[in-house]
Each structure stands twice: as C-alpha cells, then as structure tokens.
Structure 1
Amino acid sequence: MASLRPSSPPTSRARRAPAGSSSGVLPPDVLFDVFLRLAAKELCRLRAVCHSWRCLTTDPLFITAHVARHPGPLFLAKLRDNTAQICIVDLSGNVVKRIPVPEGCHHHHLLCTRLNLACLATDLNKCHVLNPATGAVYTLPEGPAVEHVNRVNLRHPNTFFALGRVTSTGEYKVLRMFNRWAPGHDGKQLFEAFTINGGSARHAQWRGRQGHDLITEALSGVVVDGVVYFLMDKVYGRSFYTGISPDHIVSFDLGTEEWRRDLQGPISRNIDSKKVLRTIRNQLTLVELKGFLVISYYHQLVMDLWFLMDFETGLWVKEYSIQTESIVRRPSYAEPLLVLDDGRLVIYLPAMGRLLICDPGSNTFSEVEVRHLDAVAMYSGSLLSLQEGDMV
C-alpha cells in the first residue's frame, strides 16, 4: 500500500523543467512561467496533452511554486446527497475534484481537520485516514491498547477520534477516547494514541495514555499545532457549584502524548454571577483560526472570538465581535472555519449545511455557492498533487 505521508518538495533546487522533458516550441523556463499563471484546475486538464507537460505540472518544484502563486483555500467536503465521495471545493463553491470514499465508510463522519490528509470516523470505533493525493487508505485497528483490554466494552465503545500533525517530527498521530460521557454512564474516559506511518496497520497497536481527572466534552475537541484541546463536559455546569468554570480547557500534546497543564478561558473572568456562568456552556465553542486556539462565545446574537496569544501566561485577546442576527440565532449553528488574507472570515453553519463569508468591517455576509454540506474540513495540500479521483 502506498504511504500516507506526502513526499516533501525540494526547497533549495534551482528552477528547471524535469530532466528529459521536451517542451516543444517554448523553452522550459518560458513554459514554466506560463503554466504558473494558470489555475490548478486547468493545469490538471493540460496534463493530458503530452508527457512533457504532465512531467512539468507534477514536478514537486513546480507544485511548490504554483501553491505560492495561488494560495487560495481548498476545502474537503462531504455532501448530504453524496455519501460515496469526498469533494474538494474552492472558495467560489466549485467542486474541482471528487475522491471516492473507501468501501464501508460512506456513513462515517468527516472530521474537521486542517491537513493534507482526511479522517473519516464513527462513534462506534471505526476510523480511516485517507491521503487524497495518492488515494492511500489507513484503516486503524479497533482493538484497544494492551493497558485497556479489560476496560473497554467493544459492543458499545462510544469513541471520539482526533487527527493531528506533530510539528517537530512531521508525524501524524490519532488520539482516541473511549467511554465518551453520557447520562447514566459513569465509566472513566480512556485515551489512546496511534502513529500513522503509512503502509499496513496489521501489526500496529494503540498506546494507552493516562486519562484526565476531569470529564471532557469529546465533541468540543479541536487540534491546534499538534495539541488537542477540550472544554469540560456540561455536567459541571449542571451542578450547583463545582469550582470548574465553563471555559476551563484541558489539552493533550500529541508529540509528548501527555496532558499539559489546564488553561482558564477568558469568558468566566468577566462574569461574576454563578448563575450566569452555569448557563453559558452551550454558548462556547473551540476552533482553530490562523494557527491559534480560539474560543467562540455566542451571546445576545453576537459571536465574540477570543484568540489565545500565549499559553504560558494565559493571554487571550478578543479580535472579532460579529453580529449574527441576519444568519443564525443559535450558537451551535455557527462555526468559524477560516480567516482569509483580507481579514474576512469563512463561517460554517452545520445545521443548514451552508458556508458563508463574513466581512467583519461591514458585518455583511455572502454565501459560498455549494450544495448542502454534511461536513467540511480544510485541505492544506495542492490540487496539483492529487493523483486519485475525478477532475470536475
């Protein structure tokens, strides 16, 4: 099986056409410059013209230069009326590539990642990692880590998965949580780590890791720079007073595979009323924007976005305050997904399956023309790197 790890493009090679290529009438350097001006979608079609054009447009050096010239975002999307494919969508809503979903994964959730890999998983302990560039699929083992063999009910596993990349090593790792908390369920949450190395997973195993003392809300999990962050479960807010604030955050470092110290969010610092504190848990969401951990606080039809500027000092800065009455009236329906270079925000509305672009200066919204979305993620790879799937 092909490796899931994408090949690293060269960084110090002089610009040139691939060895042995023939560019016809145009010199290689001229053809290189002409092709750099074209959109990736058009270049993918031009590859069929001749062998030399295909060699040029698939060369890692050219792909790196093209990405720098055309930095527009790409999204991975599952559409509600098409469970058999993952679509790659641009900011205009155009579906530029369709990639087959692995057999047996049509009803898996597409996790909201920001990688050149896609992760498909279920609550019932199924998880597959897909490399859209090569089509390689990594099926993660369902068996628990040795440490947890007698502590997991595999008939009702109730799992959560998170996929992230460790910056220092370039490794892709998956965090799995067994025993997601639910009413009437008092089992301790169990955590395991797994490294994606490519190839077969036949002999690979999960590694049991120490759990956290507090009950985390699995669905609040977000990965930022190789660290998985969680909010506390709503059970704390239902208690009269536990001493745990609703914006209390715990984090698991995928690199060290250990829990970091807890973090206090910015919302509870400005609210004195315990009664109010107990009601705001449903108004908080963790997201990643511009490489920062962000806590979104929805109140009185306003969505405040607080950026964590320094983990060690716990410094939070409110960078956006967006009026949302024209698009949504419930906090769970608005999820900030991306900050564009010009400061506009891409916002996902899960319940409606819509993708919007917000201009914070004028507080206006425009819709990305894409069919009803079931799930969406960011794709950090290049369209030119994609070998699998059908070009639209």
Structure 2
Amino acid sequence: MDTGRSSQLTERVRRMPASSNSGILPLEVLFDVLVRLPAKELCRLRIVCQPWQSLTSDPLFMKTHVARHRETFFLASFKDDETHIHIMDFAGNVIKQIGIPAGHKVLCTRLDLVCVATNKNSCHVLNPVTGDVYNLPKSPAEEHTYHVNLRKPFTSFAFGHVASTGEYKVLRMFNRPGFTDLGIPQLCEVITVKGGTGQARWRGKQSREFFVECQKANSGVVVNGVVYFLIDSVYDSMIIGGDGAGIHPDFICSFDLEVEEWREDIQGPISRNFVYDMDFPDEYIAIWDQLSLAELKGYLVLVYHQSYRSSTIDLWYLIDYETRTWIKQYSIQIESFVPVRECKVKPLLVLDDGRIVVWLGSTGLLLIYDPRTSTFAEVEMRRLSEVGLYTGSVLSL
C-alpha cells in the first residue's frame, strides 16, 4: 500500500493503537491483505476485532474493494412478501432487508440505489446504505398542471445514472387518458434525485407523437444513461394499412437522461427479417407480446420469445446505435425448461463463465442457462415477483 493511499485513510483508522492489531501486521499490509478478500468473507472477519471492523468500514477501503471485486447482487421482492425488498447473493442468502410502501414494485436496475414505484404515480428512491428515502413529488411539472392526462394518471417510471455528472435521474411517462386517445401527446417529465426530499421538481420535456410502452408498468430499460422503450401495443391493429402503417412491434424509442431529450427512434431486427404471411396474420400481431428489452454487458438487448412455431428465446444485441447494427448473440431452445404459459422471460446477467441468469416473471423462477451444454439450472429460492441487480458495496450495508 503506497503512502499516498495510507494518508487518505480516516483519522479514526490511522490512530488505532499498534497493539490493537495484535502486533502482527502493519496497517498498510493489513489493508492490502483484507482488500483481496470477497465481501462475504470480510463481513465475517469484521467480528474478529474492533480495528478490523474500523478498517473494513473505512470509505477508502470500501471504494478500493468495490473497484477490485465488482461484485453484483440480486435486488429482489418475493411473491409472498411484497412489502420488503432484499439484497441477496447468488446463493439466495439475504444480506439486507428493506421495507417498501405497499403496492410498489422494484424497477429492474443495475445501480447502488433502489427505485420502487407504482403505475398510479407514486415513486420512491431508497439508499440501502444510509436508509434515506427520497419521496418524489406526485405533482406534475408546472407546464403540465392542467393537462388532460393527469385526470386519471397511469404512469411508468425509469431510473438511471448519468456517468458524466454523477447524477441520478428519474424519467416519468404519463399514459394517454383513454385507450383510443392517440391524438393526445404523451407527457414526459424528468427529476434529479438529490440528497433529500422536497429539493427538486419535475421538469417537463418534449412530448412524443407515438406512445411508448406504458401498459407494461415500469418497462423502460436503462443502458449507459439512456432509457429505451418499446412502442405501445395499442398500435398492433394498425401495422398493416390504416393510420398506423409502418409501425412495427420492435420499434424502439430512447430518451437520453444526460441531455434530457428524445433520440431518433430505431427499428429492431425482428420486423426486418419477418415475412408477413396473409394466411397467419395473428402470428405477426402476436409479436407485440413476445418482445421485451434487457441490458446485458452494457448493451441494449431485444428479447424475442417465440411461441408460435418454435419455443426459443433469441437475444439480439444492439452493437452500434448510429448504424442500427444488431447481432443475434444467443438462440436458446426452451421447450423442456420453461413452462408453456410463461410469457415474461427476462435475462438479467451474463456471468463471467458465460452462463446467463434468466428470470421468469409469470412463475417467479430464477434460472441459469449454460450455452455450452444448452441446459438450465434452477436457483433455489422463493418465487420472485420482481428482480433487479444491486452494484453497491455490501460492506457499507
């Protein structure tokens, strides 16, 4: 450990008596030894003595440990307990339990903060380390105060981090007031999450001509500070002829949280390669319900869960936004692994050895798929109602 880093350790740690470390290792050497251990082992070693607890709780130690290990944990709520969320390791061990308001769902994020929301305009951001709860205001942006969309608000939220500024932002989308009111623009607002409640207000942003997918509550996927949505399924009856001609089920909209603007829409790879069969029109319409979005290894992924002629899950990676380049990285056969009625298949994470963690939303199962053997293994835990990923340091919990 260099002297520069040693000098950054807090006074509380540096002033530990030499005898408190049993006289075996200097503080600098102890730092370098302990920082190599995984978080689970360090949590156990903290009870050895007070100096070890002080050292492993030091902000510099925790920052160094997170940078070295890059551990990821599940952020889960269970079907039999929707008033708590749990930070868990991959073995199903609960590291911390956090209470949440009744009726709120965990947004599928990959951050060190937690966002829970309902589709009825309630959203909270939680800090698992400090216990702080940021209650976002329900009142709209000033310019939207008297808008018709707010009479019966049906909302969708997305929570993301802007790396360039370090800010956390929430995007709120209001659905149309009625199912057929397509002529009314969709309201869009952004708020910056600050260090407490009541310190920020929603900011109205550019409205969209076509509605994004708010029917599936909290369906936005955030990749590198950009929120992606699928086009709303209300257009499924208009794709062939009519006012909605040219709208495809894999039409993807994106909102840049840094500049707080909508980007140019993109077409996914499914409709490009799909041959419309007049004898099977429902097969094309059904694609709306077979598509979802995910984030894997820093890429936007379009998940195509085919169920008409084959039982497969294709994972298409958006390799380059500017050139609209998609590559099908995986095609997973699922006949004997996924229940027939399962309609919500979401890949969560690609492990270091290439295996893929997959959540089945309808049944609540968590599976790990091994592409080398084309097999699934079930993760033994209670049925999940929602699941995301937590990237913060468990040492600070």
Q: TM-score w.r.t. structure 1 length?
A: 0.88
- Name the residue aligned to 2:228: 229
Residues 322 and 180 of structure 1: CA distance in aligned 2, closer, same or farther (over 3 Å): farther
Distance 1:255 1:69 in 2: 27
Distance 1:75 1:125 in 2: 25
Q: CA deviation at 1:330?
A: 5.0
Distance 1:319 1:157 in 2: 39
Q: How does 1:87-166 map to 2 (within 5 A)?
A: 87-101=86-100, 105-152=101-148, 154=150, 156-166=152-162
Secondary structure in structure 2 of the residue aligned to 1:190 = strand
- Name the residue aligned to 1:24: 22
Q: Contact 1:209 / 1:258 at 8 angstroms: preserved in 2?
A: yes
Residues 264 and 87 of structure 1: CA distance in aligned 2, closer, same or farther (over 3 Å): same
Aligned residues: 372
What stretches of structure 1 move > 4 A for 4+ residues in a row? 152-155, 184-187
The answer to whether residue 42 in structure 2 is matched with residue 43 in structure 1 is yes
Distance 2:153 2:3 in 1: 48
- Name the residue aligned to 2:366: 355
Deviations 1:352-390 (A, max 9, x none): 11111100121111111221112111101010121xxxx
Q: TM-score w.r.t. structure 2 length?
A: 0.87
Distance 2:4 2:205 in 1: 42
Q: CA deviation at 1:331?
A: 6.2
The one-letter code sitting in structure 2 at the alignment partner of 1:20 is: R
Deviations 1:219-240 (A, max 9, x none): 3421111111111111222123
Residues 168 and 38 of structure 1: CA distance in aligned 2, closer, same or farther (over 3 Å): closer
**Structure with larger Rg:** 2
* Structure with greater contact order relative to length (CA < 8 Å, sep ≥ 6): 1
Q: Contact 1:357 / 1:365 at 8 angstroms: preserved in 2?
A: yes
Gaps of 5+ in 1: 1-10, 387-392
Q: How does 1:297-312 map to 2 (within 5 A)?
A: 297-299=304-306, 300-312=310-322
Deviations 1:71-93 (A, max 9, x none): 44201111222233221111112
Q: Contact 1:181 / 1:215 at 8 angstroms: preserved in 2?
A: no
Distance 1:346 1:180 in 2: 35
Residues 253 and 13 of structure 1: CA distance in aligned 2, closer, same or farther (over 3 Å): farther
Distance 1:234 1:50 in 2: 58
The one-letter code sitting in structure 2 at the alignment partner of 1:287 is: A
Q: Contact 1:111 / 1:121 at 8 angstroms: preserved in 2?
A: yes
Distance 1:298 1:265 in 2: 14
The answer to whether residue 361 in structure 2 is matched with residue 339 in structure 1 is no
Deviations 1:143-190 (A, max 9, x none): 000110000555521111110011211111100011257634554320
Distance 1:355 1:315 in 2: 30
Q: Contact 2:56 / 2:62 at 8 angstroms: preserved in 1?
A: yes
Gaps of 5+ in 2: none
The one-letter code sitting in structure 2 at the alignment partner of 1:191 is: C
Secondary structure in structure 1 of the residue aligned to 2:65 = helix
